[in-house]
Structure 1
Amino acid sequence: MKDKKIVMGELELELEILPEPEPLDLPKFSHDFKEVVESYNSGRADEDMPADELLARSHIAPGTGSYRDFSYIAPDIPHYIAPNCTGCMECVTECPDTAILAKVLPESVVEEELAKIEDPETRERMRAHFAKTKKFYDLPQRKGKEAGLFSIFIDPTKCKGCAECVAVCDDDALEMVHKEGTMVPEYQEEFDFFKSLPDTPSDYINERTPIDMMLTDKTHLFVGGAGSCAGCGEATALRMLAAANAFAYDDQWGIVAATGCNT
């Protein structure tokens, strides 16, 4: 394309008109972005990472915050006490970083999934995440349906230790504990188990109850990993907005924002 001259009084500017950029290959860019984040996490970015023209132009693929790891930031992390849990979901909806998630599965399905774990100690550690609540266990039985086990799992890579989940829990089902020993790897193993589980069946979801929708995998579009402050209320609001729209429209929608943290 030809250059363009602009004359403003005595000032004459010559602009170079660049060709249209190639369409962005989003899957490839997302993969490349993961490598960028991993380079920074490992401390080798300055040594062997080439300049990235897309990052330089502020092209950030959606969902890439999921590659960030905050497990080394906060000294404390929530501990779930299943026997005290009522399945109210207050902790899940309040978390600004998608660091605490819940799921309900038929009791038989839970037992099938636990049976796949060979190590007895690990199996019991996973079992400790499942609670028998009135809403999901007792009520379905009264209706002649299979009882569901409610579960809470914490993602150590996304939790910033803000303790918002503990603050909103009126049932003493969560407490902050100090990270020590093998706790973080164990939390990660437990969260990986959570991600391997089937999605919550529709039988346990009341679509007229907004909090129930966050039991489904498709509502977890706000992936966490944002650089926002711990306990950020803005992130909580955006996360709930994302969950509500995802429940209704899957991923066929988006947010355009440029106000700092939420980007």
Structure 2
Amino acid sequence: MGDLGRGVLYPDEQAAFVELDRRAPRAELARFVEFYWHVRWNVAEPYETKVLSHPNVHLVFEEPAPYVYGVHRSLFVRRLEGRGQVLGVKFRPGWFRPFIDVAVSELADRRVPAEEFFGPAVEDVCRAVLKADGPDEMIALAEGFLLPRLPEPDPVAEEVAGMVERIVARPALFRVDQAAEALHVSTRTLQRLFAEYVGASPKWVMRRARLHEAAARADQGDDVDWAALADELGYCDQSHLIRDFTATVGVPPARYARS
């Protein structure tokens, strides 16, 4: 059973009945795919898993059909029942744009049938993936489907992926103009690129990076100096951090840490 990963809320609770396996893509796909994730669960009672999503688009092989999930800008909640499994393809930020004919912002907060982007063949692949014997075979089938459908490399997508990586690595960035200056572009250019390639605004990406860091600190199980963390993350004070965290997660950070 692996680490459930940054962004998954209440990881200790979920680890009791959710298994997560993450695998790196083969070299030919590494430009496009960040990693594959395989989730298997077994719950006696329905359970809602909650995730602070990342600025990524996912292709998910699941029942009853495969879907493409755009960036989910609020708290992502999924109801788990009985036993089941899914296989997800997590595309690198910006790198789903070359697969489609619209701005990635059109997918924000949406779940779209994968057939709209990959044609009817994706339905057959999904059925085969979910019948496969373990993650290795599932991933091999997914990669066999994606490889002949890869678009041409997009230098702008690579540039945007680097921008997201730099912002996420600096959760104390608080204003869009700060990020634009650090990335050597204008504020308007940064906002346009993120709408076109990421599917979420630079402000959202910066805010989500702060919330990921706050949740990760809470999940460590140690006492957290929330005032010091608020200062470290660029908030004007502890109350600002608490309001931001509560607005998205639903409970204050101290209460979340005790859960």
TM-score scaled by length of structure 1:
0.21
Ranked by relative contact order (alpha carbons within 8 Å, sequence separation 6 or more), the top structure is 1
More strand by share: 2
More helix by share: 2
TM-score scaled by length of structure 2:
0.21
